[in-house]
Amino acid sequence: MSRAVLSIGSNMGDPLAHLQSVVDALGERAVAVSSVYATAPWGGVEQQNFLNATVIAQDPELDCWGWLRLGRRLEAEADRVREQRWGPRSLDVDVVDCDGVVSSDPELTLPHPRAHERAFVLAPWLEVDPDAALVVDGVVTSARALLERLDPAERDGVRRTDLRLAPR
């Protein structure tokens, strides 16, 4: 059974609908879905806030590359355009972790190379998996410890909302 942790985000068009489209596409493969979080943009590009969530998904027929291809297909279906690094986007689907695999492939780096620096990844993930952990610099570290290491302003920029994503 292949298990992936997907971080999803949107700040263009109807962000909640874009996030819901991921949950809808995953269907029964989505085994846990976090609350929706409002998040200040990351990376210094002027833009509106994001909505973010984490989905834990399982599928015996997908490997890590399969999860990446699925995420890219969902981004394309949401008319994702890659024009500006850390810029606004209709949908972002990042494979944060896949079966604990460590990969330095430039196309599929696992775990996600900046997940440990981003409260908008760690906070929703911890909501659905309190025992979450990442390999950082060759060391398995709890996501909770990684979140606590972040600057308080980074953590405070991630706010849980009353919005929910629901399987249909």
- Residue partners of 129: CB distance under 8 A and separation at least 6: 5, 32, 56, 143
Q: Among the options 89, 97, 131, 168, which is catalytic?
A: 89
Q: Among the options 29, 59, 92, 118, which is catalytic?
A: 92
- Measure the CA–CA gap between 62 and 42, rounded to whole angstroms: 30
What are the beta bridge partners of residue 93? 8
Q: Among the options 69, 73, 79, 80, which is catalytic?
A: 80
* Helix (H) or strand (E) run with residue 133 in it: strand 133-136
**Annotated catalytic, 94?**
yes
**Annotated catalytic, 156?**
no
**Annotated catalytic, 63?**
no
Q: Among the options 29, 59, 94, 118, which is catalytic?
A: 94
Q: What are phi and psi of 78, to 5 degrees?
A: -95, 15
- Number of residues that this document lists for the chain: 168
In a 3-state reduction of DSSP, which class is residue 4? Answer: strand
* Helix (H) or strand (E) run with residue 71 in it: helix 64-77
**Annotated catalytic, 14?**
no
Residue pointed to by tokens 């962000």: 15
Give catalytic residues, as residue numbers.
Answer: 80, 89, 92, 94
